[in-house]
Amino acid sequence: MALPREFASDNTAPVHPAVLAALTAANEGPSPAYGFDSWTARAVDWFRQQFGGDTAVFPVWNGTGANVVALRALTRPWQAVVCTEQAHIQVDECGAPELLAGCKLLDVPTRDGKLTPAMLRESMRGVGDFHHVQPAVVSLTQVTEYGTVYTREELVALAATAHGLGLRVHMDGARIANAAAALGLPLRAFTRDAGVDILSFGATKNGAMGAEAVVVFDPGLAGEMLFLRKQSMQLASKMRYLSAQFLALAEDDLWLANARHANAMAQRLAAGVRTIPGVEITQKVEASAVFATLPRAVSERLQQRFHFYFWNHSPEEVRWMTSWATNAEDVDELLAAIRAGMQGAA
């Protein structure tokens, strides 16, 4: 039986062949452990070229771990993190930030996954009152969980507001490559230079096998990160295998090509969907996801051939996600099936 075509997540994509080849190439003889290897030194150099020479870089195993380590660095036990109600840290990390960073999340409802300066100001309740948790961090997801992308200007305004309110700025960049591709900007322009203090840098969704990094722009935080990463069980002993993945994606800007491709596939899908009566796109398509509503019975039939999720247990809204591995034929087949399904439903 043919495997269903994948539109469920960029995590279902295979590992990029260049990443696998780099892992095999790194698998030669002994090498110092815990990040003292030459792959990690070169990967750190690459990050410093992107973000500035004084950037501190901490490779970790996964995105939840990156977020937990970053938030641990930024909070004390009575403090809180402002995020959206759709944020991965809020809904998809099984409470790990609350448990392991030991801080409350203050989640803000949004229509499109984006916070605004006004929302941030509104969430500053009970400041100075010892009965209340004290907001200390805002966590922004870029690309958002709704596939939308903060502009550089929006981020500058948010970070300025946050800093003015005494908050630090964390960015969950699980899909940061897709954001760079969408914005057409260097990574630094919409992170460090926009006022982000600490970044969870994602590579797994971009073609890695499993490699993320906590990227720290505030030199004052860097020293304790070594301890926090280890204590959070995110220190890889054989770190060369994480770092080799970053290097493979860095080579000839493969990371950017992968992200551009994923975004282009989402645009192709969205353009086709817009021509199908009865299917409504519910969010701006700015990166690698298309959110849409269509009759549930049609979606359920489509799911026999295409793997994708209903969004947030909604009866009608679905998320179609593309990745570096999605090809145009996959998209065109999905479009043809949606069209046929909708004609059957009419």
Ligand X SMILES: Cc1ncc(COP(=O)(O)O)c(C=O)c1O
Least distance between ligand X and beta carbon 11 (Å): 6
The site string for ligand X over 149-178 (x = CB under 6 A, - otherwise) reads -----------------------x-x----
Under the criterion CB under 6 A, does residue 145 sit at the interface with ligand X? Answer: yes
The site string for ligand X over 3-22 (x = CB under 6 A, - otherwise) reads --------x-----------
Helix axes 328-345, 254-273, angle to 10 degrees: 20
- What is the number of the residue whose Cβ is closest to ligand X? 63
Contact stretch for ligand X (CB under 6 A) within 61-69, 75-83, 267-275, 308-316: 61-69
Under the criterion CB under 6 A, does residue 286 sit at the interface with ligand X? Answer: no
Count of beta carbons in the 10 Å neighbourhood of residue 279:
22
The site string for ligand X over 64-103 (x = CB under 6 A, - otherwise) reads x-----------------------x---------------
Least distance between ligand X and beta carbon 250 (Å): 20
Helices (H) and strands (E) in the chain, counts: 13, 13
- Asked whether 115 and 82 are in contact (CB, 8 A), the reply is yes
- Minimum CB distance to ligand X smaller for 37 or for 172: 172
Under the criterion CB under 6 A, does residue 244 sit at the interface with ligand X? Answer: no
Q: Which long-range contacts (CB under 8 A, 24 or more apart) does 304-308 make?
A: 304/4, 305/2, 305/4, 305/5, 305/333, 305/337, 306/4, 306/5, 306/6, 306/7, 306/333, 306/334, 306/337, 307/4, 307/5, 307/6, 307/7, 307/8, 307/12, 308/7, 308/8
CA separation, residue 305 to residues 216, 261, 327 (Å): 43, 23, 16
Integer Cα distance of 209 and 241 in angstroms: 10
Burial per residue of 198-214, b for 16 or more beta-carbon CB atoms within 10 angstroms, e otherwise: bbbbbbbbbbbbbbbbb
Task: Name residues contacting ligand X, limited to 265-284 (CB under 6 A).
Answer: none
- Minimum CB distance to ligand X smaller for 11 or for 24: 11
Under the criterion CB under 6 A, does residue 63 sit at the interface with ligand X? Answer: yes
Least distance between ligand X and beta carbon 201 (Å): 11
* Cis peptide preceding 143, ω within 30 of 0: yes
Least distance between ligand X and beta carbon 145 (Å): 6
Among 40, 75, 84, 141, binds ligand X (CB under 6 A): 141
Least distance between ligand X and beta carbon 53 (Å): 27
Contact stretch for ligand X (CB under 6 A) within 27-35, 56-64, 187-195, 263-271: 56-64
- Asked whether 180 and 209 are in contact (CB, 8 A), the reply is no
Least distance between ligand X and beta carbon 329 (Å): 25
Among 12, 31, 62, 151, binds ligand X (CB under 6 A): 62
Tokens 């961090």: give the residue.
Answer: 137
DSSP string, 230-242: HHTT---TTTHHH
Task: Name residues contacting ligand X, limited to 200-219 (CB under 6 A).
Answer: 204
Least distance between ligand X and beta carbon 217 (Å): 19
Contact stretch for ligand X (CB under 6 A) within 48-56, 60-68, 129-137, 249-257: 60-68
Burial class of 124 by CB neighbour count within 10 A (0 to 12, 13 to 18, 19+): middle
Q: Where does this chain bind ligand X (CB under 6 A)? A: 11, 62-64, 88, 141, 145, 172, 174, 204
